[in-house]
């Protein structure tokens, strides 16, 4: 240990230069580790805010609806929505493919302009909803007409995450609404 102290006392310029070189090396390693850490953190942040779209058909006796649910952990931004029926007609919303409702019956809600609409995590956007009383024959008749119409439609949803990355398209046929019909007769169960 004495030799080290003697060397330091006899060569102060060499020791200073060596200390400066070690300081530069340590600073370079610190910067390199910081860049790697930031890159890993950014990758983690991107992965932790990924939206997952789910097109949910809701089919009850007193209410039918279609909604888009964000089951992921980040905001879902809709870039394109297409509904297409079996005859090849398409629309940028569901309401555009629905039949006209009779007097006295109204949509509870519907959504028509979906482009650039955002859905936060664990929330839903109701595309259309019809509700009524099962005892009302007019409601039951239009409900079954809407069910039949919805069962002929396929939906394609294109969306992005908060960073603008394209997510996998969500595609859903609405055949679930046809479960109330066998050979075209309403109120039948499979």
Short-list 125, 126, 120, 116, CA closest to 49: 120
**Both ends of the chain: CA-CA distance in Å?**
91
**Which residues contact residue 111 at a Cβ distance below 8 angstroms, ignoring those fewer than 6 apart?**
93, 95, 117, 125, 126, 127, 128
Q: Domain residues of the chain, as ranges?
A: 2-47, 53-180
Q: What was the pLDDT predicted at 145?
A: 95
Q: Is the pLDDT of residue 166 over 60?
A: yes
Q: What is the pLDDT of residues 115-163, one digit of tens each?
A: 999 999 999 999 999 999 999 999 999 999 999 999 999 999 999 998 8
pTM: 0.73
Sorting pLDDT into bands at 50, 70 and 90, what band is 183? low
- Where residue 188 falls among pLDDT bands split at 50, 70, 90? very low
Backbone φ, ψ for residue 110 (5° rounding): -155, 160
Residue range 68-102, pLDDT digits in tens = 999 999 999 999 999 999 999 999 999 999 999 99
Task: Determine the pLDDT at residue 187.
Answer: 52
The third-level CATH classification (topology) of the domain covering 53-180 is Immunoglobulin-like (2.60.40)
**How far apart are alpha carbons 39 and 8 in whole angstroms?**
41
What local confidence, expressed as pLDDT, does residue 26 receive?
A: 93
**Tell me, what's the pLDDT at 189?**
46
What is d(CA 73, CA 44) in angstroms, rounded to the nearest whole number? Answer: 12
Three-class HEC string of 19-50 = HHHHHHHHHHHHHHHHHHHHHHHHHHHHHCCC
**What pLDDT, on a 0 to 100 scale, did the predictor assign at position 85?**
94
């Amino acid at each position: 240990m004495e030799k080290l102290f003697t060397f330091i006392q006899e060569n102060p310029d060499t020791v200073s230069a060596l200390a400066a070189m070690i300081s530069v090396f340590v600073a370079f390693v610190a910067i390199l580790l910081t860049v790697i850490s930031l890159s890993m953190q950014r990758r983690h942040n991107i992965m932790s805010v990924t939206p997952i779209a789910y097109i949910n058909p809701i089919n009850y006796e007193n209410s039918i609806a279609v909604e888009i649910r964000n089951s992921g952990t980040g905001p879902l931004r809709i870039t394109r929505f297409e509904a297409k029926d079996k005859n090849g007609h398409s629309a940028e919303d569901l309401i555009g493919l629905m039949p006209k409702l009779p007097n006295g019956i109204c949509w509870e809600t519907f959504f028509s302009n979906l482009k650039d609409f955002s859905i936060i995590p664990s929330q839903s956007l109701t595309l259309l909803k019809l509700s009524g009383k099962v005892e009302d024959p007019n409601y039951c008749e239009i409900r079954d007409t809407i069910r039949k119409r919805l069962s002929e439609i396929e939906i394609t949803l294109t969306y992005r995450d908060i960073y603008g990355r394209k997510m996998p398209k969500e595609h859903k046929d609405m055949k679930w609404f046809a479960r109330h019909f066998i050979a075209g007769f309403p109120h039948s169960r499979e």
